[in-house]
Amino acid sequence: MWLLPVPPRGRPRSRPGRQAPVQPQSSPSPDLRHRPARLHRPGAPGVPGAIELPGAPGAPGVPGAPRAPESREHREYRRYRGSRVMICGRKARPAAEQLRAPSDGAGGSRRPGRALKKMGLRSHSPDPPQHSASVSPPRGAAHGTAGTQGSLIQAGAVGARQGLTEDEDVQRMLRGSLLWKVKAKGGSRERLFRLQEDGVTVCFEGRFGRSRSPQSFSVAHIEAVREGRQSEGLRKHGAAFPERHCFTLAFKGRRKNLDLAARGEEDARHWVQGLTKLMGRLQAMSQMEKLDHWIHGVLQRADRNKDNKMSFREVKSMLRMLNIDMDDVYASKLFKECDHSGNERLEGRELELFCRRLLRRPELEELFGRYSGEDRVLSAEELQDFLRDQGEDSSLSQARAIIRTYELNEKAKQQELMMLDGFMMYLLSAAGDILNQEHTKVHQDMSQPLSHYFISSSHNTYLTRNQIGGTSSTEAYVRALRAGCRCVELDCWEGSDGEPVVYHGHTLTSKILFRDVIESIRDSAFEKSPYPVILSLENHCGLEQQATMARHMKAILGDKLLTQPLQGQDPHDLPSPELKEKILVKGKKLPELWQEPRGVTSLLDPKEEEEEEEEEEEEEKVQERSPRRSLQSLQEIKPLQAKDASQVSPELSALVVYCQAVPFPGLAQALRHPQPCQMSSFSERKARKLIKEAGPALVRYNARQLSRVYPLGLKMNSANYNPQEMWNAGCQLVALNFQTPGYEMDLNTGRFLPNGRCGYVLKPLCLRSPPGEGSRRLALHIRVITAQQLPKLNRDKGSSIVDPFVRVEIHGIPADCAKQQTHHKLNNGFNPRWEETLRFQVRAPELALVRFVVEDYDSTSCNDFVGQFTLPLPSMRQGYRHIHLLSKDGASLSPATLFVHVRCKSL
């Protein structure tokens, strides 16, 4: 074989009447460019998807497919560009009903071919395996490895059922439309937008191509499509266009919104509906289909002259796009082996064969062979053994259900058997994900008081960049709330015309109206989570504008705003998160007549007092290292703050029910006289000091009352702090700058990944009822096996190939914090293989987070970030698992994955 197997791992098993297979010894697989070549038959198993360029000679197409009529705008565009629009796609080839087992593969000795003998079929068939054309794979799965590669619109059974090829909205997008692109700072430009043949990429450029090179975006990167003027940009600058002509594309990560206006209502409707359908189709795609489509896009980019044939030079270019630095001699040999026609061009089945050779997953073939035996087909009983070793439900009914769900071959499914393709489909699905799928929905007790939960919280939510000269935007609130944030901050200052504004005082940040912020919160608060949202008000307004704030909140939020204590509950006790679709106000409150004072002498929020001290300290540091002119200009900024800002208006005070902001009275007094509905804020510095000096007492305090921790006052770059040490002390509202990516935000995303990403996570019992015993210590062993399709870091430099390594980090109590990493693999970001085991001991697993990081090794400078994934240790599943990597800003890097084996053992 051209890929050498590694020694199989795991315990050898034996059953009555069957001899345990002998496991041969062999060496690990070398790098791809050093592998010996061996011709692999067309149709060999184990490779997701058949790859063929659309329209290639000999490749099945869509005969007689009608071409959609061209619009006038597109005729203008084509006249200039000299291009031709083709709706690309292809149907699945009819497949044979006869089930045949693969004839080769890795994995050592096989068991006797019991399963195939039961069916009366041959093992080691000389013909390539085909899958039944009548199969309806799950979740948009492709029809096996030999049948359905093409554009997204054509790929898979789901696409065929949805009829996207003939869909009127998609056809209009393929022809192209002239849309006005509304700029964030005002003004608009008309651009020709057109969906590309892959069904995922949308390109746009000047009407007659007079602008710079075309720009593009992927449908996969769109978070939401909003109709009408539902964005800050369109509300400000879109008045010239009818509302029904307008729509907004909100992107994942940090990319700005794209505000668009069509020439007519019909065009806008086609684009909104078409994009929504394509987004749904993408979400329904399996991991194998995503891989197919990704490869298809690379093939299209590599085919420079667009003749649907690949020369050796184009193949080398494609390999670099795939992050492979393959030796020229081996690449040439592989090319010639696949060039059956001998014309020095790969086309049709030749190109499919070449891609199959690249896309093989030998580690999965070995794993499959270890359980299936020599017949290379898994029976339900053999799948039971695999499930048992995975630590999952290993009942016979569960094994049969998995075969019914994931097996692609209809005949095998009827016989309750699983082929290699079905096994790969299963491992690449959500069922093979490292995250426990039960934790992707709300599974925790949500009836406990708010103080018993970690609550996803944002600091300076209004900022899109740094807090010195960044832009304030209502879109920042929308992004935070859609990311699961349940506590947002509003810094409120006196505005002109009697309207309060939100911005970062004493800085150059822009201002937004308080009213606009509340409207955005109303529209987005419960899109992703139904659980309550807390508005943390930092009030610098006078009594008059405070009353205006109260009027705006009552008028805009309506019944969503909680203004009275819950009936039937003690008003001094905190409610539970079951207070669904309600918005709570955190702020200062006038003392009630019946309340007895408890030493509170100031209405000033302690955060304001502390920030003043910290800003003075930070400004002194900045003066030492910053130009005098810029500091003088910064110091000249005097935000409009009323003289009576330290007072509270009765209207605003009445809206504060359960989250009354008070100065911290000290742990001793707070523990003697607990006030659950009062909460204090701590800077990260003060929180660390409390943890160091009185950690156990702070844990007891946080079991009864809410506390909020925020970053230091005047950090130039809006940097974050490590939230884990605050969670260790039971702090609920650990506020971070959501606009600043980094490992801190990775930890925050991982902490709130379980429980349906609802923004509330139940704290461990030891933090809810201290002092309590934690879980038993764990020995955690993670075998890093392979990575797949890592992204290129430098797309502009074709010869740039990553040298990846994997680092696993444990974040928890100080005694558990540790990190280990693999060796780096030279010049292979496509399918590097490590087979290295990293070992950890975890003393408090209920608090631990596990972060998987892939970086590009550099011997002369800092390593470059490639991707990461973070999750709580209690949500991590054992066994063979795929990890789907995320970018620095949290967006998916699909189809990039890690393949690992996880084993936990109590000590």
What the block records as the tokens of 878 is: 């054992």
Q: Give the Cβ contact number of residue 794 at 10 Å.
A: 12
Q: DSSP alpha helices (H): ranges in 113-241?
A: 114-119, 156-162, 168-175, 232-237
What the block records as the tokens of 427 is: 């491992």
* CA nearest neighbour of 799 among 320, 199, 126: 320
**Which residue in the list 74, 131, 504, 901 is annotated as catalytic?**
504
d(CA 250, CA 891): 13
CB 681 within 8 A of CB 710: yes
d(CA 353, CA 363): 20
The angle subtended at Cα 60 by Cα 58 and Cα 63, nearest 5°, is 110
What the block records as the tokens of 822 is: 């693999």
CA distances to 77, 184, 742, 874 from 748, rounded to whole Å, are 47, 30, 10, 16
The verdict on whether 459 is a catalytic residue reads yes
DSSP string across 221-270: GEEEEEESS-SHHHHHH-TTS-GGGEEEEEESTTPPPEEEEESSHHHHHH
**Which residue in the list 40, 237, 459, 811 is annotated as catalytic?**
459
d(CA 128, CA 149): 17
Q: Report which residue type is found at 833.
A: R
d(CA 843, CA 728): 13
Q: Please, how many CA atoms are within 13 Å of residue 143, restricted to the half-sphere of its CB?
A: 27
d(CA 377, CA 407): 11
Exposed / middle / buried, residue 784 (Cβ in 10 Å: 0-12, 13-18, 19+): buried
* Pairing state between β 778-788 and 177-182: unpaired
Kindly report the length of the chain: 907
d(CA 398, CA 52): 36
312-321 vs 287-302: helix crossing angle, rounded to 10 = 130
CA distances to 217, 673, 753, 843 from 818, rounded to whole Å, are 39, 39, 21, 12
Scored b (16 or more CB within 10 A) or e, 372-411 reads bbbbbbbbbebbbbbbebbeeeeeeeebeebbebbbbbbb
DSSP summary character for residue 433? B
Q: Give the Cβ contact number of residue 799 at 10 Å.
A: 8
d(CA 659, CA 605): 12
Q: Give the Cβ contact number of residue 743 at 10 Å.
A: 17
CB 875 within 8 A of CB 883: no
Containing 273, the helix (H) or strand (E) segment is helix 265-284
* CA nearest neighbour of 297 among 154, 156, 200: 200
* CA nearest neighbour of 502 among 555, 552, 457, 456: 552
The verdict on whether 882 is a catalytic residue reads no
Scored b (16 or more CB within 10 A) or e, 813-840 reads beebebebbbebbebbbbbbbbbebbeb
Cα torsion for 769, 773, 776, 777, to the nearest 10°?
100
3-class DSSP state of 906: strand
* CA nearest neighbour of 7 among 76, 21, 19, 659: 21
What the block records as the tokens of 522 is: 């109303």
d(CA 287, CA 830): 16
What the block records as the tokens of 116 is: 């195939």
DSSP string across 831-851: S-EEEEEEEEEES-GGG-EEE
Containing 372, the helix (H) or strand (E) segment is helix 362-372
- Residues annotated catalytic, as ranges: 459, 504
